Chains A and B, each alone.
Chain A
Amino acid sequence: MSNERRFIVTMLAPTFFFLICFYLYPTLYNLANSFTDLSLFGMRRGGEWVGLDNYWELVTSPDFRSVLFNTVIWLTVIGVSVRIVLGLLLAFLLTSRTIRKYRLETVSRVLLLVPWATPPIVAILIWRWMLDPRVGVINEALMWTGLVSQPIAFLATANFVWPALITIITWNTLPLVTLTFMASLQSLPDELIEAAEVDGATRMQTLRYVYLPHLQPAIVIMILMSTFWTFNNFVYVWLTTGAGPGLYTNVMATEVYIKGFIDGRLGYSSAVGVVMAAIMTAFGILYLRIIAQRELKEVF
């Protein structure tokens, strides 16, 4: 028995070494810094204890309110919903009878992987070109069809910048969501759908009472995972718009970066980080409950 215990400790030691050094220690360090006025330019001097000042500033700042709105509403709620809805529609399309009948399944599934295999940095560069007002193909197409008379600078125009950003993120992340839904759809027995049809169920009823209940676990997991992948993501916003125009698309991840590395206010930046981590911890607990109940039952 003690032999087995030694084995368990040895096998888990590397994992926890990484978790403690890379996640736990930095989190505690941030928490401690968030109560100080530590500055990037005065690291040696260290920070003075300022109590809850950083948090007070954060709560009362109108800038932070817009950052919170951008992160929660635009990036996360709208961004994730678009991905889930399009992922579902695409999964239905790719597993539809017509596609199966003409044997287009395999080829479309391989092509579906292409955006996912495109690294985010490349996806961002290519979409920045496509959305470019001078040489971009989207403006060229819009001008050609006569829908617009002037090229649109999508990434520099308040009305277009969020939809454009969400388009880029959706394009890059849609395949994973779609493939997950497709796998779930394929595990649904054909007899169940045939039975529903024999019973005279309409298409909407079949969708409502057969497909959606079967897909529900996959949808829940994808909503949760997409939420923390998106909420925490720094690269898409930073490399596409640099939080601009102005600070119009500033989100929490870019706010931590701007306050810490551009303004040099590490104390305040840590406070923003602590708020971010707190929101994600709440999500994480929800996520754990769900995977404990559904997916990895035997571990828990």
Chain B
Amino acid sequence: MAAVANLSSGGGAQMKRAIGELLIILLLLSVLFVLVYPTAWIFIASFRTPETMFSRGAHVYTLDNYRALLASEFARSIFNSLFLCIVSVLASTAVSVVAAYVFSRLRFRWKRTLFGAVMMGQTFPWIILVTPVFILFARMGLLNSVSGMVFVYVAVSIPFSIYLLVGYLESVPRTLDEAAIVDGCSRWQVIWKIVFPVMLPGVVATATYAFLLCWSEYLFALAFLTETEKKTMPLLLAGYFGENVVEWGHVMAGSALTTLPTLLLFLPLQTRMTSGLAAGSVKQ
């Protein structure tokens, strides 16, 4: 709007600038359209009947897709996914926070090598772990079990979580925990009572990444969860989009329900990431 106002107001240079601005805004709008359209479409289509989902004419809106989906085994998988991810994220965050603290604050032999080993975990191809871990799990009776999957999800998320948390810890002043030590706090108390609250925004961001990782994980779930009542949402979802038959109602409603939690988690993260540590309680 303002660009248009500029157009009418004046001379050559101003006109040129206004056109430039208009082009930039049009470019922005088209980029944002491409970025948002696919996800937005899922939510719209999930409320249409499969028959009118793709039609150019009138669409019939309904809740039947969700009703049918929630009456199927999918309802169970929502619970499975949520439970698995929440337990895994809590465990992996706890393990990562203490490890990141030790790597960031303490000096000890082999530190570089050990930290390097953790970081190398990020570069690992998961696919090559499937067979050995499958055999290990089969021997220990961990196939189709929550504890087995939590083990997997903690293991895959700690390298990147430690990397992020060590990064956040660098911006937390050391004087803070040194002062607490002088005051007679133990290291354990320093971690949870002093450092943890200060780095909470970083912990939240890290936990969100870990959650997205578990929530959308497909490969290990495919290999280690074979019983229908144990399966997670991505597994069932992939099954609805078959080679020949596509259950569009299930695909759209299931996709919407799988995307909603991560969308709700990510949008607030945006403000957290910017208002993060610099302006936080550290400076007081």
Contacts and interface: CB of A to CB of B under 8 A. Distances in A.
Interface centre among B126, B129, B267 (most CB of A within 10 A): B129
A70 interface: no
Identify which of B116, B131, B151, B266 gathers the most chain A CB atoms within 10 Å of its CB. Answer: B131
Contacts of B28: 93-94, 99, 104, 108
B128 A276 contact: yes
Nearest to A144: B56
A110 interface: yes
A117 B111 contact: no
Nearest to A18: B155
A74 interface: no
Given A119-B215, A287-B123, A299 B115 contact: yes
Contact of A111 (B35, B99, B118, B121): B35
Interface in B197-245: 212, 215-216, 218-219, 234, 237-238, 241
Contact of B123 (A43, A273, A284): A284
Given A7-B187, A119-B212, A126-B39, A253 B127 contact: yes
A147 B235 CA distance: 37
Interface in B109-137: 111-112, 114-133, 135-136
Contacts of B106: 4, 8
Contacts of B277: none
**Interface SS of chain A:** helix
B149 interface: no
A12 B99 contact: yes
B282 interface: no
Contacts of A98: 20-21, 24-25
Interface in A79-123: 90, 93-94, 96, 98-99, 101-102, 104, 108-123
Contacts of A99: 24-25, 28
A125 B237 contact: yes
Contact of B125 (A225, A276, A295): A276
A104 B26 CA distance: 12
Interface stretch (B8-16, B61-69, B71-79, B162-170): B162-170
B143 interface: no
Interface residues of A, number: 90
Given A30-B132, A115-B35, A299 B25 contact: no
Contact of B267 (A90, A104, A108, A113): A113
Interface residues of B, number: 86
Contacts of A19: 117-118, 121, 155, 158
A239 interface: yes
A22 interface: yes
A56 interface: no
Contacts of A206: none
A171 interface: yes
Interface in A180-230: 225, 228
Contacts of A18: 95, 151, 154-155, 158
Interface centre among B31, B237, B269, B270 (most CB of A within 10 A): B31
Interface string B241-262: 1000000000100010011001
A121 B114 CA distance: 34
B262 A118 contact: yes
B19 to A, nearest CB: 11
A119 B39 CA distance: 10
Contacts of B27: 93
B25 A26 contact: no
A75 B219 CA distance: 19
B179 interface: no
Contacts of B158: 15, 18-19
B32 interface: yes
A283 B128 CA distance: 17
B42 interface: yes
Nearest to A167: B34
Of A8, A122, A126, A273, chain B has the most CB atoms within 10 Å of the CB of A122
B31 to A, nearest CB: 7
Nearest to A29: B132
Contacts of B54: 135
Give the 4 A-B residue pairs with the shortest CB-CB distance, closest first.
Answer: A119-B216, A273-B128, A26-B132, A22-B155
Interface of B: 2, 20-21, 24-25, 27-28, 31-32, 34-36, 38-42, 54, 95-96, 98-99, 101-104, 106, 108, 111-112, 114-133, 135-136, 151-152, 154-156, 158, 162-163, 166-167, 170, 187-188, 212, 215-216, 218-219, 234, 237-238, 241, 251, 255, 258-259, 262-263, 265-267, 269-270, 273
Given A15-B118, A287-B119, A299-B115, 19 more contacts: A4-B187, A14-B95, A14-B98, A19-B155, A30-B131, A113-B266, A117-B267, A118-B263, A121-B218, A122-B39, A129-B251, A135-B54, A174-B35, A179-B273, A260-B131, A266-B131, A288-B119, A296-B170, A300-B112
